Structure 1
Amino acid sequence: MGAPRVVCAGHVNWDVTLYVDRLPSADGEAAIVDQHQSGGGSASNTAFVLSTLGLSSVLVGSTGEDKYGSLVREELAEAGVDTTHLTSVPGAVTTVKYLVVDESGQVMVLANDGANEAFDTASVPDDAIERADHLHLTSQRPETAQALAERAVEAGVPVSFDPGRRLDCREYEPVFRLADVVLLNESEAAATKQSAALESRDGITVIKRGSDGATATVDGRAVAHDGFGTEPVDTTGAGDAFAAGFIAGQLDGTSLETAVAVGNACGALATQTAGARVAITWDDIEDLLDRTVPE
């Protein structure tokens, strides 16, 4: 058998990261101490990490026909990500996000809409999902996410969903109901607290708590891992790396406890480098897990 095949669908960006001495308040000013550019976007970041972990990752999304779109594709191809279903939109610009990161690694994000939600389900042939071992959905138009999830459920393909920051203005309840795994950070979990769909759904709900670890809940049982307490350089993309590690752990047949630990290890490793993209190996994960085993 070949490596597990994961289809990741959602945002594909180019990130411009500015490292500052502090995040300024309104009408304030901060000093730029460094800057960095690389690919970004939740689906793209997760596909990148999955590929470096040895899985077969397929990216579904869209970019413009511009230099940033070309740079994104080159970076992904070098990592082994399949971009066959990454749509290039004529006349559109690739979404660029400007990330402002303070000395503690915390992030503020500014973005243009760009082309990253221009793709639709017509760009994804049925066999692309039918041949997958897993479908991972990230922030995108609710109707697109729902249509892809329905196709995966019909094909018997497990679905995970990491909705991102726009929960306050998007109707994702149908996708919550279809997903086998929902991944949220603490702010997103608070935003969905009143969601009947999230409370009543079957499947696993994972709450990511940054350096404090994560908790996975299923069938009334909670599995917690305290994280690794690493000092972050840049937290951009850490949640996407967590998702990649958690998915990879589940596809490897590990326990839920181990999948959460692997997710936390990937998230922690992602915070140790600049930018949203980081190459992670199983040796990296095992080294981190070994260093934190209690005596």
Structure 2
Amino acid sequence: MAATHGEGTAPDSPGPEYIELESTPLVGEPRDVLAGAREPDSPTIDLALSGTVFFDIVLTGLAAPPASGTEVDAEGMGSCPGGVANLAVAASRLGLRTAVSAAFGEDVYGDFSWETLAHQEMVDLSASLRVPDWHSPFTVSLAYRGDRSMVTHEHPPPTPLEEMAQQLPHARAAFIGLSAEGDIPDWALSQSAHGAMLFADVGWDVTQEWSSSVLRQLRHCHAFVPNAIEAMSYTRTGSPTSALAALAEHVPVAVVTDGPRGALAVDQTTGESSEVEGLVMESIDTTGAGDVFGAAFVVGTLAEWPLEQRLRFANLCAALSVQHTGGSLSAPGWADIAAWWGRLHAGHRDTDRRLLRDYGFLADLVPMPWLPTEQRRASATIGLRH
């Protein structure tokens, strides 16, 4: 859990400072949901990741993207590590011991991303490299009307990611992105051979071909977590339900996310199936919400929660993340979850009472009453002087 100086706000404080969307997310005591499963010979790492860490600049509150030759105002902005850092921070803030293999330039962007991940978010970077004379990957994200557009600049690192990732410690789980251009990376297969569960998602196919080679790669995976459009496109089906049924023929645990409409899943290892509605919260930036969902689903799976609980927990974490700027540093921790849970107890609407029933499992996961620490997490900005 990362922390910078600041003041916490108790969940029963109804003042405007509590609901301010651009405020820095809260920090509370770390929670280890896997504490009861840790044995002396257990893996020291819970989740292994490899990929590109981008330096993200996120601009929010645009009425529309800028047209050629025009200038538009942004109501907010933030800077934070992006790319694979989104998953890493989300998992770490939920208590997973997380390791990342990535290249970091020896520039200001790389310094900021390394310091944020290693020292503020407690992510293990022992399998990562600092690269001199190499420009850190860079992305500008424009958030508007509940969606976003991105501009990215990057160069391949001089040391291939696959080579770096072989240095990752053995983990309970690994999360990978599938691609039509390749196969499951060797480092992930090595993790699987040592007992790791492989979780996978897939990026947008710019070719619109939706190659069946992606589905063939699922034979190596424990779980697949695409969004509804991706799931329907790869399975050539016309609804999320049909897509889920098709995916279940390829992978033990199939999950289809559908934004504010919720998520549905089948877990053939337990015989469960579930569909849960989404949580709609005021949004300023959707960047990284899918990564937050994926990290939270990994947490619930490793903790052996029922499928419905895993889906609801992942939905909640993703919904909380869109209330803050930036993909990685918007990810909620247990303090944010406890604060939301406290708000439900203070509410009197029918919706609050229904959510109290649906999310009753949180009573065993977050303390009531909850008290924050005297710290807040890292702000989504670079080089801010206090």
Change beyond 3 A, Cα 1:118–1:32: farther
Deviation, structure 1 residue 30? 5.8
The one-character-per-residue Cα deviations of 1:158-211 (angstroms, maximum 9, x if unpaired) are: 100122224747753443221111111123223312499946313112111122
2:292 corresponding residue in structure 1? 241
Say whether residues 1:260 and 2:311 are aligned partners. Answer: yes
Secondary structure of 2:80's counterpart equals strand
Residue 119 of structure 1 is matched in structure 2 by 160
Structure-1 separation of matches of 2:253 and 2:262: 16
Mind listing any 5+ residue stretches in structure 2 that lack a counterpart?
1-37, 238-242, 345-354, 359-386
RMSD: 3.0
Higher relative CO (Cα under 8 Å, sequence separation at least 6) belongs to 2
Residues 179-194 of structure 1 aligned to structure 2 (within 5 Å): 179-194=221-236
1:80 is aligned to 2:122: yes
Where does residue 175 of structure 2 map in the other structure? 136
Task: Report the TM-score when normalising by structure 1.
Answer: 0.85
Q: Tell me: CA distance 1:25–1:8, structure 2 relative to 1, closer, same or farther (3 Å).
A: same
Q: Find the counterpart in structure 2 of residue 272 from structure 1.
A: 323
Alignment of 1:107-256 (within 5 A): 107-115=148-156, 119-125=160-166, 128-129=168-169, 131-138=170-177, 143=182, 145-166=184-205, 168=207, 172-194=214-236, 198=247, 200-219=249-268, 222-256=273-307
Deviation, 1:217, is 2.4
Q: What number of residue pairs does the alignment pair up?
A: 291
- Asked if structure 1 preserves the Cα contact closer than 8 Å seen for 2:166 and 2:187, the reply is no
Q: Secondary structure at the match of 1:184?
A: coil
- The letter for the 2-side match of 1:6 is L
Give 1:12 deviation, angstroms: 1.2
Q: Kindly indicate whether the alpha-carbon contact (under 8 Å) linking 2:80 and 2:326 is maintained by their aligned counterparts in 1.
A: yes
Query: Partner residue of 1:47?
Result: 88
On the 8 A contact 1:159/1:178 being kept in 2, the answer is: yes
Going from structure 1 to structure 2, the CA distance change for 1:255 and 1:109 (only over 3 Å counts) comes to: same
1:29-40 equivalences under 5 Å are 29=70, 31-33=72-74, 34-40=76-82
Partners of 1:153 and 1:24 lie apart in 2 by: 43
Residue 24 (structure 1) aligns with: 65
Which stretch has the larger CA shift, 263-272 or 92-101? 92-101
Q: Find the aligned partners of 2:158 and 2:299 in 1 and give their Cα distance.
A: 26
- Deviation, structure 1 residue 230: 0.8
Larger Rg: 2
